[in-house]
Structure 1
Amino acid sequence: MRRTLHRLLTLATAAALAVALPAGTASAAEYPDPYPAAGETQLHDPTMIRLADGRYIAYGSHRDVDAHVSTDMVNWTRQGGAFAPQNVPSWWDRYTTQDRPWAPDISYANGQYWLYYAVSTFGSQNSAIGLATSPTGAPGTFTDRGIVLSSATGDRYNAIDPAVLWDGGRLWMTFGSYWTGIHMVELNPATGLRSGNPPITHLATRPDAPYAVEAGQVIKRGNWYYLFASYDACCAGLDSTYKIRVGRSSAPTGPFTDSTGRSMLNGGGDLLLGNSGRYLGPGGQHVLLGDGGRDLLVYHYYDTQRGGEPHLAISRLGWTAAGWPVVVPTTG
């Protein structure tokens, strides 16, 4: 799961999120409810894509990259994992004996589905990011392509929480958690792996120990690159304090700043989504642009009506006139 301990940060300015919202849109502070979700929705760190056959598939942490499938984005069933049991990579055992993979990221490019994920020993830098590919994206069809990046005690980063950006023929991977936070490295778009020893760029961290920022994802919309990240404590049930923050830059490698101009290398980041009603500790997010004309924010939360269980949630994203994302109602 996306690495956590404790988190904290500044509140986004109301002005930035209240600028020229569409008619009927709630302010960011009200956090409209996500889309209804039913069935087997217990999932951590979801990443979601619509397959060629029209089904939605959400992969998440644990098991063999937990797979949940839906035909309507509402009713979900668990259908095994990304890997068939006989195809689980043996190298995982060098990094973990528990929990198996965490925090996957799925994308589609060059005629195949690319699934990045992490394996790690909890609370350590004994971590690695792996890649698997599939022609269909369906559960049980992924083939291991090996280790993309690893880390060990004393490294300046932790090799978990991958997310990739395909941008004009180039491929970038965001990763990292705690220690010095979130980083980015360029990958070879033909193989999905590193070529040579490309530089690793620092994108975000916190000035306060334990530097609790993780689960970074960079997307491109218009001329801006946006860095979404989770702050504070994940994975603690009703004690979770996760929240989602965002900054932007004119380049994929930053520097990323929030709407007040504060750098995400110094604790910046506008608050996009926090606690709301039964939806506690939202985070481990994945942004899906242009799904049927909608931009979606996919994440997990801890359900106060079900004892703090983690569940899948999908909210709709809108954009202010100034170009900042905001959670908006799922209808209208």
Structure 2
Amino acid sequence: MLRTRAVAALAVVVGVLLATLPPAATAADYPDPQTVTGDTAIHDPTMIRLKDGSYVAYSTHGRLEARVSKDRTHWERAAVDAFATPPAWWYAYNDTADPWAPEITYRAGTYWLYYSLSSWGSNHSAIGVATSASGRPGTWTDRGKVFASETGDAWNAIDPYVVEDGDQLWMAFGSYWSGIRMIRLDPRTGKAHTADTAVRHLATRPDLPYAVEAPAIVKHGAYWYLFNSYDACCSGLSATYKIKVGRATSLTGPYTDSGGTPMLRGGGDLLLAGHGRYIGPGGQSLMRDRGAHVLVHHYYDGEDDGAPKLGLNELRWGEDGWPSVV
């Protein structure tokens, strides 16, 4: 009898606790990405609108796979990747010279393409850079290594994101290890600054394996906003990737979420998570297009055996200054 009463009392307590928890996310909690057609099988995308109004997207694998579009809706695989052949130095970081997670920018009349080289589970990694006058596939000239990490370092030099602050140029990067880091770049070369060699710390989480990666940063109003991917990428239907955001008054931080928790202590407001067929969104970049900030990411398609697909969501800025996806 006592055991029965104890079980009944425990059930009541559990019921009360469950009733106070927020409901599990449903498809209605997050908007679907923009409808896209054509060749949209893509991973870790970066995108830019070119001078003629057309779009190009580069992504992980190949020699940085390339896709082109006239309207940001219908996409076709380009006849060539970013590179026709891999630079010889790539082979020092993986034996297939397979680059990951590119990031394209336009600065000083030149397109700049940053990219990662590594092997799974290692921080023997490097970030490289190439330049092009047009930004089109097959036109890139490699400029070599920007920054590297080795097995004794507390960071991982992959997933670059480059951002300007006045006349200064910065690169955020990072994956697992101690999370998201930032270094200053030389605007002339686009590579690590030789006079300012500090490796700054922007975000991490308190639990191993510090699953934070793929930073992207944008300024809106008085704040800089840092978007990161959290949890498990690259596992199709089992992916738990999601995107969180925090902000700071300085590009180099400290970043906090809307509740004041520092991103260096695991903070971050959940911006986009899996819902319906759209599993594990992340690997994001940001693009400014026609007055709007566009979140460029991949997800795993629950209706196509977990294949990675292109996701595009515009950001809407609330009266409180925080973004949401639409």
Q: Same fold (TM over 0.5)?
A: yes
Give distance in 2, aligned partners of 1:71 and 1:175.
30
Give distance in 2, aligned partners of 1:167 and 1:239.
38
Opposite residue 63 of structure 1, the aligned amino acid is G
Please say if residues 27 and 275 of structure 2, whose CA atoms lie closer than 8 Å, have aligned partners that are also in contact: no
Opposite residue 281 of structure 2, the aligned amino acid is P
The answer for unaligned runs of 5 or more in structure 1 is 1-13, 15-26
1:258 corresponding residue in structure 2: 257
Please say if residues 28 and 326 of structure 1, whose CA atoms lie closer than 8 Å, have aligned partners that are also in contact: no
Opposite residue 294 of structure 2, the aligned amino acid is L
Shift of 1:261: 0.3
Give distance in 2, aligned partners of 1:63 and 1:99.
9
Shift of 1:99: 6.8
| Residues 28 and 41 (structure 1), Cα distance of their counterparts in 2 relative to 1, 3 Å cut | closer
Identity over aligned pairs, percent: 56
Opposite residue 82 of structure 1, the aligned amino acid is A
1:220 corresponding residue in structure 2: 219
Give distance in 1, aligned partners of 2:249 and 2:225.
9
Find the residue that maps to 1:125 and give its secondary structure. coil
* 1:47-100 deviation per Cα after TM superposition (whole angstroms, max 9, x unaligned): 110001111111110110111111111111111311123xx2110000012470
Give distance in 2, aligned partners of 1:28 and 1:158.
34
Shift of 1:191: 1.1
Please say if residues 27 and 276 of structure 2, whose CA atoms lie closer than 8 Å, have aligned partners that are also in contact: no
Find the residue that maps to 1:265 and give its secondary structure. helix
Please say if residues 318 and 326 of structure 1, whose CA atoms lie closer than 8 Å, have aligned partners that are also in contact: yes
Shift of 1:294: 2.1
1:267 corresponding residue in structure 2: 266
2:14 corresponding residue in structure 1: none
2:310 corresponding residue in structure 1: 312
Give distance in 2, aligned partners of 1:76 and 1:137.
16
Find the residue that maps to 1:81 and give its secondary structure. coil
Please say if residues 165 and 173 of structure 1, whose CA atoms lie closer than 8 Å, have aligned partners that are also in contact: yes
Pair 1:81 & 2:81 matched = yes
1:120 corresponding residue in structure 2: 118
* 1:275-321 deviation per Cα after TM superposition (whole angstroms, max 9, x unaligned): 121110000001113x1122211100000000000011101110111
Shift of 1:29: 6.5
| Residues 178 and 172 (structure 1), Cα distance of their counterparts in 2 relative to 1, 3 Å cut | same
* 1:238-269 deviation per Cα after TM superposition (whole angstroms, max 9, x unaligned): 00000000000000100000000001111100
Find the residue that maps to 2:237 and give its secondary structure. helix
TM-score (norm 1): 0.88
Shift of 1:218: 1.6
**Higher radius of gyration, 1 or 2:** 2
1:21 corresponding residue in structure 2: none
Opposite residue 84 of structure 2, the aligned amino acid is A
Please say if residues 41 and 307 of structure 2, whose CA atoms lie closer than 8 Å, have aligned partners that are also in contact: yes
Structure scoring higher RCO (CA < 8 A, sep ≥ 6) equals: 1
| Residues 224 and 29 (structure 1), Cα distance of their counterparts in 2 relative to 1, 3 Å cut | farther
1:283 corresponding residue in structure 2: 282
| Residues 99 and 245 (structure 1), Cα distance of their counterparts in 2 relative to 1, 3 Å cut | farther
Pair 1:294 & 2:292 matched = yes
1:59 corresponding residue in structure 2: 58
Find the residue that maps to 2:264 and give its secondary structure. helix
Give distance in 1, aligned partners of 2:73 and 2:30.
19
Opposite residue 245 of structure 2, the aligned amino acid is V
TM-score (norm 2): 0.90
Find the residue that maps to 1:317 and give its secondary structure. strand
Shift of 1:30: 2.0
Please say if residues 62 and 99 of structure 1, whose CA atoms lie closer than 8 Å, have aligned partners that are also in contact: no
2:10 corresponding residue in structure 1: none
Corresponding pairs, count: 300
Find the residue that maps to 1:226 and give its secondary structure. strand
Shift of 1:195: 2.8
Opposite residue 157 of structure 1, the aligned amino acid is W
Shift of 1:28: 11
Please say if residues 28 and 327 of structure 1, whose CA atoms lie closer than 8 Å, have aligned partners that are also in contact: no
Please say if residues 187 and 195 of structure 1, whose CA atoms lie closer than 8 Å, have aligned partners that are also in contact: yes
The answer for unaligned runs of 5 or more in structure 2 is 1-21
2:143 corresponding residue in structure 1: 145
Q: How does 1:32-111 map to 2 (within 5 A)?
A: 32-79=31-78, 80-85=80-85, 88-98=86-96, 100-111=98-109
